[in-house]
Amino acid sequence: MNAPVPKPWVMAIAPYVPGRATADDGRRLVKLSANENPLGTSPAARAALEAESRSLDRYPDPGASILREAVAAKYGLDPARVIYGSGSDDVLHLAAGAFAGPGDEVIFVHYGFAVYEIATRRVGATPVVAPDKDYATDVDAILACVTDRTRIVFIANPNNPTGTFTPRAEIARLHAALPVHVLLVIDQAYAEYIDADDDDHGLMLAMTTPNVLVTRTFSKIYGLAAERIGWGYGAAPLIEAMHRIRLPFNITTAGQQAAVAALGDTGFVDTARAHNATWRAWLAEEIASLGNRGLRVVPSKANFLLVLFEGDVTAELAYKGLMERGYIVRWLPGQGLPHGLRMTIGTEAETRGLAAALRDVVGG
């Protein structure tokens, strides 16, 4: 050995591929590849962030009190049981780090969020992939993967990159059938986009049971992706274990202030939700009207659509054609979806432009 040797489980990680913003030749494109908020950020959140620029010399509050209090007040939670992270990705890593290690198994779905596999491998645990049911989460398939070694099940609801939603009754059935020593992580990065009646009761399970962790983020509907603020909620012993491995000052002062202001701006969130519902439905209709070109839209409750290319126009060709016309979407061959493009719902102009470019590319 003549150089430091990385751990084999680290070398088994396929690095995360972020959504792109530029074309192969460096041109800036309309970025519809990272599920960001096309309406920007709440003005109140921006003002709160700017106000913090006066006190950059001080460490942030290590206990993130203002964030925990605001989140708890909004959802009726116990602030002591709110964990926080540098984005909810951080919270997902804390869950894996506290509850899984070498020899343990962690289950997630085939077309699941890429971070679950990275977080699993990072701690030396073994990923176990449950097959999907026509791109949606299949509770029976997940349960069939459970063994004595299972420690965590990660699901996103709505799921990314499919946009599919697992209804409350199915989440309840999954939770009821899991052994209580298995941690069920319900990643609700897109929860604010669903209708109130559709609530999957994840937070209710996190409040009342010992083995459910719900995660949320300020990166999507709140339009604060740049600030990296996420949080999680679960039983006190879960949260206590995660705090032991959390970096001492893992969220910034300005980020916390911005997040608290964003939580309070319900008008901005309502506008973003309504915009998304309108233009997601419109884009799905437009794609359906492209005629017999083999394009299929997976039903979505999130702020994006997964479009499957099942005819002679390939997803790769469409991806390149859209890029030439100024639009960058997400092509995911590395996630088992060489035949799919994930498209974020943009502004009205961006969404209309994307639909026109797609029509041009596929010749519908």
Ligand X SMILES: *Cc1c(COP(=O)(O)O)cnc(C)c1O
Cβ distance to ligand X smaller for residue 302 or 361: 302
Residue tagged 């994930």 (tokens): 342
- Of the candidate residues 36, 89, 227, 286, the single one contacting ligand X (CB under 6 A): 89
Stretch that binds ligand X, among 5-13, 215-223, 262-270, 292-300 (CB under 6 A): 215-223
Residue 168 class from Cβ within 10 Å (0-12 exposed, 13-18 middle, 19+ buried)?
A: middle
Cβ at position 292, least distance to ligand X in Å: 32
Q: Can residue 87 be called a binding residue for ligand X (CB under 6 A)? A: yes
Stretch that binds ligand X, among 67-75, 85-93, 137-145, 252-260 (CB under 6 A): 85-93
Stretch that binds ligand X, among 1-9, 84-92, 270-278, 305-313 (CB under 6 A): 84-92
Cβ distance to ligand X smaller for residue 189 or 355: 189
Cβ at position 317, least distance to ligand X in Å: 26
- Of the candidate residues 156, 262, 318, 355, the single one contacting ligand X (CB under 6 A): 156
Q: Can residue 37 be called a binding residue for ligand X (CB under 6 A)? A: no
Stretch that binds ligand X, among 10-18, 51-59, 87-95, 329-337 (CB under 6 A): 87-95
Spatial CA neighbour of 322 closest among 1, 33, 12, 67: 33
Cβ distance to ligand X smaller for residue 88 or 120: 88
- Of the candidate residues 88, 162, 211, 351, the single one contacting ligand X (CB under 6 A): 88
- Please name the residues in contact with 121: beta carbons below 8 A apart, sequence gap of 6 or more: 9, 10, 12, 13, 127
- The sign of the torsion formed by the CA atoms of 312, 315, 316, 322 equals positive
CA end-to-end span of the chain: 59
Cβ distance to ligand X smaller for residue 249 or 360: 249
The total of other beta-carbon atoms located within 10 Å of residue 59's CB is 9
CA distance 219 to 210: 27
User: Could you tell me the maximum CA-CA distance found in the chain, to the nearest angstrom?
Assistant: 61
Cβ distance to ligand X smaller for residue 268 or 304: 304
How many residues touch ligand X (CB under 6 A)? 14
Q: CA dist 107 to 66, 129, 296, 308, Å?
A: 34, 6, 28, 25
* 186-210 b/e (C-beta count within 10 Å ≥ 16 → b): bbbbbbbbbeeeeebbbbebbbeee
Q: Which two three-digit tokens encode residue 159?
A: 């799921």
The total of other beta-carbon atoms located within 10 Å of residue 26's CB is 6
- The sign of the torsion formed by the CA atoms of 358, 18, 94, 249 equals negative
Binding mask 163-202 vs ligand X (x if CB under 6 A, - otherwise)? ------------------------x-x-------------
Cβ distance to ligand X smaller for residue 16 or 181: 16
**CA-based radius of gyration for the chain:** 21
The length of the chain, given as a count of residues:
364
CA distance 258 to 50: 9
Cβ at position 216, least distance to ligand X in Å: 8
Residue nearest to ligand X (CB): 87
Cβ at position 148, least distance to ligand X in Å: 28
Cβ at position 203, least distance to ligand X in Å: 16
Binding mask 246-285 vs ligand X (x if CB under 6 A, - otherwise)? ----------------------------------------
Q: Can residue 230 be called a binding residue for ligand X (CB under 6 A)? A: yes
Residues binding ligand X (CB under 6 A): 35, 87-89, 113, 156, 160, 187, 189, 217, 219-220, 225, 230
